[in-house]
Amino acid sequence: MKAALSEGVYTATSYVYESGGKDYFRAGIQTDINQYLSVYGSWQNEPNRFGLGAKLGIEPWSLIYSLRTHPQLDLSHAIALQRNW
């Protein structure tokens, strides 16, 4: 389910059912600080982890950095260069 809480603030949630596995719930939020900068956050309950990210964009290009926690693994980092067309 996706919803705009207000102008520039977007949320999404999902429930994942796995036959024979563990079900889990996910939630995410995106906030547009200005036309160039967006901040992201996420949470998942199985395995329990959090994520944070930032996107710096000047159309058609965007640079994205994110990190995510995991209960058994080290902190994960990701960097992406994106081009929209």
The C-alpha atoms of residue 44 and residue 28 are separated, in whole angstroms, by 9
Average pLDDT, the chain: 91
**Mean pLDDT (whole number) for 18-30:** 89
> Is this structure's pTM higher than 0.85?
no
**21 vs 58: CA distance, rounded Å:** 42
Domain boundaries, the chain: 30-85
C-alpha span between 16 and 77 (Å, rounded): 24
